[in-house]
């Protein structure tokens, strides 16, 4: 009877290990679709102080490509035509004169792709790590790097990332109006909530 009990307990433990391993493997290969997003571009002024250009128009799906180091296919896109600085004329100048969103593809959208995280387990990691990626902005592709804080809330994953962007690297003139200008380096801050994508990564 004791032998049977030991055998039963062993079978249960083995089943638990298989389920746990399978669950982690599935999590590590899950595609993630942006459910909510908030993008803030912090612009420092040459006279002191700063302002923010903001939008919630963030979309995209990321699909795990490798686990060591964690790398993702897919992309995250921001509609630059929706950026708002809180002042109408300043917003118009930023969109039309400096970002040149009217030039269409490659200019009206910023795209972050080829994302890689630091040496972490993508299926279970929580906390802060580094990331790298490729940013398409103003028709130019350049590598970017920054920090990201990752949290897990049930089936969802939330992330808060920040990284610097040097405007001149992307051929963007430094915004200036009546002698008040923006520093060449702006800070991009992204808050993102992602849900597991439907099979195939498409929209539901």
Largest distance between two CA atoms of the chain = 89
Q: What is the pTM of this model?
A: 0.80
Shared domain for 44 and 139, answered yes or no, is yes
Shared domain for 6 and 20, answered yes or no, is yes
> Given pLDDT bands bounded at 50, 70 and 90, which one contains residue 199?
low
Which domain covers residue 2, as residue numbers?
A: 1-30
* Residue 202 falls inside a structural domain: no
| Percent above pLDDT 70 for the chain | 82
Could you give the residue ranges of the DSSP H alpha helices within 107-147?
none
> Given pLDDT bands bounded at 50, 70 and 90, which one contains residue 126?
confident
Q: Are 160 and 149 in contact (CB under 8 A)?
A: yes
Strands 50-55 and 58-67: unpaired
pLDDT for 18 beyond 50: no
Shared domain for 138 and 72, answered yes or no, is yes
* Residue 75 falls inside a structural domain: yes
Element (H, E) at 170: none
168 burial (CB, 10 Å; 0-12 / 13-18 / 19+) is: exposed
Integer Rg of the chain from CA:
22
- Mean pLDDT in the chain? 84
> Given pLDDT bands bounded at 50, 70 and 90, which one contains residue 122?
low
**The pLDDT value given to residue 29:** 62
């Amino acid at each position: 009877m004791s032998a049977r009990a030991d055998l039963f307990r062993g079978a249960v433990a083995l089943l638990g290990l298989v389920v746990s391993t399978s669950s982690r493997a599935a999590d590590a290969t899950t595609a993630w679709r942006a459910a909510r997003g908030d993008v803030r571009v912090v612009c420092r002024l040459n006279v002191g102080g700063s302002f923010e250009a903001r939008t919630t128009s963030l979309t995209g799906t990321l699909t795990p490509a490798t686990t060591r180091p964690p790398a993702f296919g897919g992309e995250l896109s921001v509609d630059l035509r929706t950026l708002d600085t809180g002042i109408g004329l300043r917003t118009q100048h930023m969109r039309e004169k400096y970002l040149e969103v009217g030039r269409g593809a490659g200019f009206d959208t910023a795209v972050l792709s080829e994302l890689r995280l630091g040496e972490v387990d993508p299926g279970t990691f929580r906390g802060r790590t580094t990331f790298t990626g490729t940013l398409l902005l103003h028709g130019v592709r350049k590598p970017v790097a920054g920090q990201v804080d990752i949290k897990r809330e049930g089936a969802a994953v939330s992330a808060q990332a920040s990284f610097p962007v040097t405007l001149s690297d992307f051929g963007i003139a430094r915004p200036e109006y009546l002698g008040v200008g923006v520093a060449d380096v702006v800070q991009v801050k992204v808050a993102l909530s992602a849900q597991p994508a439907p099979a195939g990564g498409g929209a539901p």
